Amino acid sequence: MQRNLYQRVEVLFPLKDARLRRRITEEILPAYLADTRAARLLGADGNFKGSRTGRNGRGISVQNN
């Protein structure tokens, strides 16, 4: 799959609401960091390989849950 690196916009903004910041850091971000379905790990040799999978052998997909 090709990556869109040229026609791309990313936006950052401060989270001033403490409840919203807590929800994002304790609920949403950990779920996305645990997503292993399509993850690849870059080895020291410069090659990518599949990452760890969950107990069911299929990994975790945040988008499908």
Within-domain flag for 4: no
pLDDT one-digit tens code per residue, 49-62: 876 665 556 677 88
Which tokens sit at 53? 């999978």
Within-domain flag for 53: yes
The span from the CA of 36 to the CA of 54, in Å, is 8
Within-domain flag for 48: yes
Within-domain flag for 23: yes
pLDDT at 9: 87
Parent domain of 52? 18-64
Within-domain flag for 8: no
pLDDT at 65: 58
Contacts of 37 (CB under 8 A, 6+ apart): 58, 59, 60, 61, 64
pLDDT one-digit tens code per residue, 3-42: 777 888 889 999 999 999 999 999 999 988 888 777 778 8
Within-domain flag for 31: yes
The span from the CA of 20 to the CA of 55, in Å, is 31
Within-domain flag for 58: yes
Within-domain flag for 11: no
The span from the CA of 17 to the CA of 15, in Å, is 6
pLDDT at 64: 78
Q: How many domains, the chain?
A: 1
